[in-house]
Structure 1
Amino acid sequence: MIADTVTAIVVTHDSAEVLPACLDALASEGVRIIVVDNASTDDSRDIAQAKGARVIANVLNQGYGRANNCGIAAADTPFVLIVNPDLEIAPGAVGELLAAAQRYPEAGMLAPRIVEPSGRIFLQPRSLLSPPHLNRAGAMAIPEGDACLPFLSGACLLVKREVFLALGGFDPSIFLFYEDDDLCRRMRDAGHGLVHVHAAQARHGRGRSSAPSVLRRFRARWHLAWSERYVARKYGLPEPGRAVVWLNMAKAFGYGLAFKREKMFAHLGSVAGAQAWARGETALAQEGLEDAAETAP
């Protein structure tokens, strides 16, 4: 039975708008569901409980990777299915992923075809952590069948739980961004394949996991800038230079003059994250997590 094989892990943070459809799609696949709620202020926890999911309630927002680590540690099935709350797994997709895991026993992680609202198939063609020969310009060709890829999207991943735990899970120093790239890199380095499964499909409303706001945009770009520098240093890669910081400052100033607050705050976040990294500050300190308890009693 699928329920004895797979547990879905859904990390939420003010995700009430999209969560019901996500959980309904998972329930129709017969998987167990654990929702790890990152201190939502909306009805996310109540919705998850009403849908029959097990809820782990974090007192503070732990970030995406750290919250997934918590949920996966609480699961007891051989596989876990990491799912963004704004993603709807298509009928039969979990079975297709499991069948592919049997066909490719060397795979540590498998992902479905992820279809965006525009109908575009999302693939990650490049990454800071890719070998240079893989970072070619242009869009990645969409595989016509199953394919082993250098990276898979963290929006939906079927993961062998034993392998995930042996690798230490998502890097707990990262609050947001690059945690999935880092995990994919460590999976490959450890000899585990990353397989894109053609017959499995999911629909993804990108960027809808949490309600948008100017301050959230600032915060997200802060972490993007910090995490980019963190993983670059972790793997001995060149870090973004001061020119990038000055460019973001100039863009923030320009958008401010044009009264485009959202874009202004985004670039200010990039500047602030880079400056925090230069001062030796951590992402966890920024979020007040270094000494904080993770979950509610």
Structure 2
Amino acid sequence: MTRSDVTAIVVTFDSAHALPECLGALRADGVPMLVVDNASTDDTIAIAEGQGARVIRNPRNEGYGRANNSGARAADTEFVLVVNPDCIVDSGAVATLIDAARRYPDAALFAPQIIEPNGRVFFQPRSLLSPYLHNPTGKLVLPEGEACTAFLSGACFLVRRDVFLKLGGFDENIFLFYEDDDLCRRIADVGSALIYVPQAGVRHGRGRSSEPKRGRIYASRWHQAWSRAYVSLKYGLPNPAPGMFAVNGLKALGAYLTFQRKLIERYGGSAAGAWAAMMGRKAF
């Protein structure tokens, strides 16, 4: 039986390798699927259509936040489930999240327990942008049951569509990274809670959303550094860009001297992203 109260939004970019398991699990659980494709060059669209998903085709890579916003606007259900293509949602997990939403009408965003490939439970004990529930040392203690929290991962979560759209969705100035921190902060700022629902399970491939290609580590690290600086300044926090540029610039120089390409991309990307933020460049 197909659910009528939720739409799963899956943003893809060269995600053919991960998509069959992701969409297959949602389809088996009766969750309608909307794939927003960011100009993939592989078989992503064919796989999505073969799994019965509705597809929105972006002519260029619009980034994670903008693509999800497009999906939320195109959906017409009470809830949207944001799902990374490298996530496999356990049977019954969506129903469990929606049940929690019914029991907590003052909350807007609900996230499952996310299990990483090594079996570790992903749970971030603090957020850069958290206005409450402070945890200065970052001590990790997993909640024993449902809990109000300061941050929930953007890898997979359920959100009330009306609240999401009223807030403008993800910040469209951000291409990638920290858009989930920013959304959680804005939800908290309007007085809504974020609820962790550990009895709903999701397996996360972590980093498998796009097929690895030369240059993608550099691009990923560029956006991570730029976005951290952007959200810090947005909320009046100290600008981390100068420090990131100095540290990663030195590390990139060391990597160049040892001809380690992955490290060159990693540290060079971080330094370049920090420099771009310092120069006032945009992410798009």
TM range (shorter): over 0.9
Partner residue, 2:94: 94
Contact 2:132 2:150 in 1 (8 A): no
Unaligned runs of 5+ in 1: 285-297
Partner residue, 2:59: 59
How far is the alpha carbon of 1:219 from its aligned partner? 0.6
Contact 2:127 2:150 in 1 (8 A): no
Residue correspondence of structure 1 range 130-209 to structure 2 within 5 A: 130-131=130-131, 134-209=134-209
How far is the alpha carbon of 1:241 from its aligned partner? 4.9
What is the rounded CA distance, in whole Å, between the counterparts of 1:270 and 1:214 in structure 2?
16
Partner residue, 1:31: 31
What is the rounded CA distance, in whole Å, between the counterparts of 2:2 and 2:97 in structure 1?
11
How far is the alpha carbon of 1:136 from its aligned partner? 2.9
Partner residue, 1:82: 82
Note closer, same or farther for the CA distance 1:151–1:132 as it changes in structure 2 (3 Å cut): closer
The CA RMSD measured in Å over matched residues stands at 1.4
Contact 2:242 2:278 in 1 (8 A): no
Note closer, same or farther for the CA distance 1:17–1:162 as it changes in structure 2 (3 Å cut): same
How far is the alpha carbon of 1:244 from its aligned partner? 2.7
Partner residue, 1:288: none
Unaligned runs of 5+ in 2: none
Note closer, same or farther for the CA distance 1:132–1:30 as it changes in structure 2 (3 Å cut): closer
Contact 2:131 2:185 in 1 (8 A): no
1:83-125, Cα deviation, whole Å (9 max, x unpaired): 0000000011011111111111111000110011111110112
1:178-212, Cα deviation, whole Å (9 max, x unpaired): 10100000000111110010210010010000012
Moved over 4 A (4+): none
1:36-55, Cα deviation, whole Å (9 max, x unpaired): 00000110000000111000
Matched residue SS, 1:95? helix
How far is the alpha carbon of 1:145 from its aligned partner? 0.7
How far is the alpha carbon of 1:133 from its aligned partner? 6.8
Note closer, same or farther for the CA distance 1:110–1:243 as it changes in structure 2 (3 Å cut): closer
Contact 2:241 2:278 in 1 (8 A): no
Note closer, same or farther for the CA distance 1:62–1:276 as it changes in structure 2 (3 Å cut): same
Provide the TM-score with structure 1 as the length reference.
Answer: 0.92
How far is the alpha carbon of 1:126 from its aligned partner? 2.5
What is the rounded CA distance, in whole Å, between the counterparts of 2:242 and 2:116 in structure 1?
35
What is the rounded CA distance, in whole Å, between the counterparts of 1:135 and 1:274 in structure 2?
26
Paired residues, number: 284
Contact 1:214 1:265 in 2 (8 A): no
Matched residue SS, 1:57? strand
Contact 2:222 2:270 in 1 (8 A): yes
Identity %: 57
Equivalent position amino acid for 1:219 in 2: A
How far is the alpha carbon of 1:132 from its aligned partner? 8.4
